[in-house]
């Protein structure tokens, strides 16, 4: 088994998937799970094919017209070939073999309901869904979901108003990428595209690990369908907050763990 890496990513699209949306930009970062260092990054614009429309709301969000994309982008198939090559160059083996399953852990903002679906559709359209999706772990980290989870825990523990990610003007909880980034001290006033979003979500994720590891061991709703990786749901245990490996255990809480996959240690405080 090769070393696992975090795969932080983000798509800009022409519309929602149910309205025929297509990816127009993809950005990704590969990050060492042990050091949190960025190993490599990827960014690519994609043009829309004749007949495919740019949604009005999407255009307002990213400001990229069909004509601009035609000039600055490549076809979706070509872009997919490029990210495939980029991953291989960085040591990721892309096949359908079980021994190549779970090399990358998906990380991103709102990926559960948005980007992970576009990622799969993109691979499917290119004709490589099975080998491409095999490189990902079953578990992934949606920073929006985790931030929401952290807010909920704070509210429960300290009462309303003490949550970590909140809108300064109103004091209301918000798991948006911007509000997580504000907590990190990031400058959110600059214009940002897919690469900023992918990188910032990754920083948020690393921060979640550093401060709320015990929450990450149990915030377990985010799954991909990798049949080459067993579903651990039937056994007692916890997830390593660093590498997402499942560790069987009969005593789940108030215990120090040492991960056999990544050798990181973490402590679970809450019952
Ligand atoms: Zn681990």
Cα–ligand 1 centroid distance for 132 (angstroms): 23
Does 79 map to a domain? Answer: yes
Does 233 map to a domain? Answer: no
For 163-211, the DSSP string reads -SSB-TTT--B---HHHHHHHHT---SS---HHHHHHHHHHHHHHHHHH
Instruction: For residue 46, give the 3-state DSSP assignment.
Output: strand
- According to the model, what pLDDT value does residue 223 have? 64
| Structural domains of the chain, count | 1
Residues near ligand 1 ion, CB 5 Å cutoff:
240, 242-243, 245, 259, 261-262
Cα–ligand 1 centroid distance for 201 (angstroms): 20
What is the CATH classification number for the domain harbouring 121?
A: 3.30.420.10
- According to the model, what pLDDT value does residue 271 have? 44
194-216 vs 177-184: helix crossing angle, rounded to 10: 80
- According to the model, what pLDDT value does residue 269 have? 63
**Contact at 8 Å (CB) between 27 and 42?**
yes
Which of 95, 84, 82, 166 lies closest to 130 in space, CA to CA? 95
Cα–ligand 1 centroid distance for 244 (angstroms): 6
Q: What are phi and psi of 159, to 5 degrees?
A: 90, 165
Model pLDDT for residues 178-194, shown as the tens digit of each residue: 989 988 888 888 767 89
* pTM to 2 decimal places: 0.88
Owning domain of residue 50: 5-140
**Which segments in the chain show pLDDT lower than 70?**
1-2, 191, 218-226, 230-235, 250-254, 269-271
Model pLDDT for residues 218-243, shown as the tens digit of each residue: 655 566 666 777 666 656 777 787 87
Does 195 map to a domain? Answer: no
**Contact at 8 Å (CB) between 214 and 238?**
no
Does 51 map to a domain? Answer: yes
Give the residue carrying structure tokens 């040591």. Answer: 91
- According to the model, what pLDDT value does residue 270 have? 53
């Amino acid at each position: 088994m090769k070393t696992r890496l975090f795969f932080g990513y983000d798509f800009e699209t022409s519309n929602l998937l149910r309205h025929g949306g297509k990816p127009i930009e993809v950005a990704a970062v590969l990050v060492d799970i042990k050091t949190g260092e960025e190993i490599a990054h990827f960014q690519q614009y994609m043009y829309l094919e004749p007949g495919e429309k740019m949604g009005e709301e999407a255009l307002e969000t990213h400001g990229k017209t069909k004509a601009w994309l035609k000039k600055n982008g490549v076809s979706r198939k070509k872009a997919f070939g490029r990210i495939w090559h980029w991953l291989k160059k960085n040591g990721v083996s892309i096949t359908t073999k079980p021994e190549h399953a779970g090399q990358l852990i998906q990380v991103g903002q709102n990926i559960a309901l948005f980007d992970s679906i576009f990622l799969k559709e993109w691979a499917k359209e290119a004709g490589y869904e099975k080998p491409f999706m095999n490189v990902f772990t079953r578990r992934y980290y949606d920073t929006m979901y985790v931030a929401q989870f952290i807010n909920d825990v704070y509210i429960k523990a300290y009462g309303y108003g003490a949550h970590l990610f909140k809108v300064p003007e109103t004091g209301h909880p918000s798991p948006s990428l911007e509000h997580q980034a504000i907590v990190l001290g990031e400058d959110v006033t600059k214009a940002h595209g897919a690469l900023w979003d992918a990188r910032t979500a990754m920083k948020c994720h690393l921060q979640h690990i550093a401060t709320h590891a015990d929450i990450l061991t149990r915030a377990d709703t985010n799954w991909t369908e990798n049949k080459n990786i067993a579903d651990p749901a039937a056994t007692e245990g916890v997830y390593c907050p660093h590498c997402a490996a499942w560790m069987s255990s009969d005593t789940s809480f108030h215990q120090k763990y040492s991960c056999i996959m990544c050798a990181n240690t973490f402590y679970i405080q809450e019952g």
